[in-house]
Structure 1
Amino acid sequence: MHDNPNKLAAATLPGEPAQAKGLDLRRAFLQHNALVMLLVLVVAASFLSADFFTWQNLGNLLRQLTPLMLVSIGMLIVILTAGIDLSVASVAAVGGIVVAMSLNLLPFAGAGGLLLALAIAVAAGVLMGLVTGTFIAYLRMAPFIATLAMMTMARGLAFILSNGQPQRLADDQSAAALLREFGRQSDPLLGVPWPVWLALVVVVGFALILRYNAFGRLVVASGSNETAVRLAGIAVERYKLAAYAICGGLSALAGVVITSRSGVATPSAGLALELDAIAACVIGGALLSGGKGSLFYTVVGVLVLGLIGNIMNLLSVPAYPQQMIKGAIIVVAVLLQGIGRRDARI
């Protein structure tokens, strides 16, 4: 007697949905591993310290993460074009120095003087991004080399402009006082720090641009398949140039935020900020080969890095173990990305 093949097939059916469900859960975990990391860290922090969920701690954490958030958004746009920008920290230092010097030297007071100084600082960052982007997009220089050169030059420029000395915001200048209040105060209604509102506006703005605007789609396409974009008659160089200009402007804005918190602009500000920005993008799933990255998950990556430091500070752990843990998380994130891509091909 031969077994009925239909009966055998039917007998295997109950196990198949469970197996498929397990595979779907695995893929969902790999796809959203940055979010899982964030949730695990939040739960761990709530158990490790009773001070974690206090509004003062969360407000300070988000305030401190604003410069990294701004730089990481610019870094993501560059990475989407298959590039990298190592100069963001140095450009941030220049932005801080320029805004402090402008506030101290310009004869304008009040909000008008602050907006003018802010425009000058951001314009300086955009200009440096344009220089870097020109070398990369039009002169075909490797992004690593071009931005490494700009990193050195911008840091030197920060020291030259400041003569190697910290530039303190003038106490008797109303525009400088407004900048200090922006960095240290919160809105009176919700109690959210003003720099956090700035970061939120920038995040929402670029999320809309990357998702719904032709510029965002072409930035992603130029990093995913540059040859196809060129064959379609699109000038890839313009989008690469714009990406580095945006990154430079956001980096300078981050330097302004750093200055607003401390009331002092230093030429050494923002050290290692570029490494944290790259780490946030990688943790968020961005591919350094270009064409893949999510602004939402880059924000999650920034929060993951911030939570690691916050937990360690609450537990009074020295800075060096924090660096080791950050490195380990980056390695884990890259490994999970590789596993996720292999699963997607199966």
Structure 2
Amino acid sequence: MRSMFKRLFAVAASVGIFCMMSACAAEKRPDKALKIGVTIYRKDDAFINSLCTDLQNIAKDKAKGENKIQLNIVDGQSSQTAQDDQVDRFLSRGYSVLCVNLVDRTAAATIIGKAKRANMPVVFFNREPVEEDLRMWEKAYYVGADAAQSGTIQGEIIRNAYKKNPKSIDRNGDGKIQYVMLEGEEGHQDALLRTEYSIRYLVKSGLKVQKLADNTANWQRAQAAEKMSQLIRQYGERTEAVFCNNDEMALGAIDAIRESKIKNRPAVVGVDGTQAGCDAIRKGEMLGTAYNDAESQAKAIFELSYDLARGQKIDSSKLKDQHYIYIPYQMITAANVNKYVG
């Protein structure tokens, strides 16, 4: 994974990564490249890393034809101040389109205001701005997935396992599912919705649940391992299910469970469908995950940005409420995990 980061972010963050194909025949296309500026919240997020790799590959393929494209990806380093500076740089250098994976979703209004004044279309992705902000300008869009759906899928994975064999989940036989929740980030919309809808699905399915604890691990494996170790010391083997807002935290929880050597391991579910997450499912350490389709999201981001950069009218049939493109999640369990392993 470390080598992947080095390849993807080998150039300094202020310069970023770009792929550019020179004209095969100058008379066949304009000299000016379509410049797409992308700023991400943190380079070492496994899902964002995968999405950026897909975005690069799509841009390179597009540039092989009669197109001249410059894709510049920069790292916000978990700092909204740094990301704001990157946005200002893209605006001042006359980029065609701005793509933003927000560090802080409350910063969207400021970014949209700047983009509107510069008449530069802006495509947010993965971290969804509030609706009021996105509707500030007709050229502001969001590409991502419905976080509520991913939570529902997590609940469905647990429910299906319980329905097949109640004792595989309700190991103490008290008729309730004792669970802990590892949340991604305080106030983050995806974290809130995944947390809410996973449990909502179980309750609507007629299952009784009991929350033992919830904790924030900021999407990170190491933090999740530390938090899960604390929960194991506190609750021992009482925990029957561990809901994690992403696969990285699910893997951290699994690290802690493995290290603790408890006999009755809880069922662990994640979100994203990363390769490491899929490997954990194949090994039987993770019950399942909700696949967050990075490749399809990257394709939607690029195609929307490409059309906006060329001043093309956006096909309204591809948009929800004139501003949104949502890519559906997919359920991954041991039954179909091989389909998702690269």
Higher helix share: 1
The structure with the greater share of residues assigned to strand is: 2
Which protein has the larger Cα radius of gyration, Structure 1 or Structure 2? 1
**TM-score for the superposition, normalised by structure 2:** 0.28
Higher RCO (CA < 8 A, seq sep 6+): 1
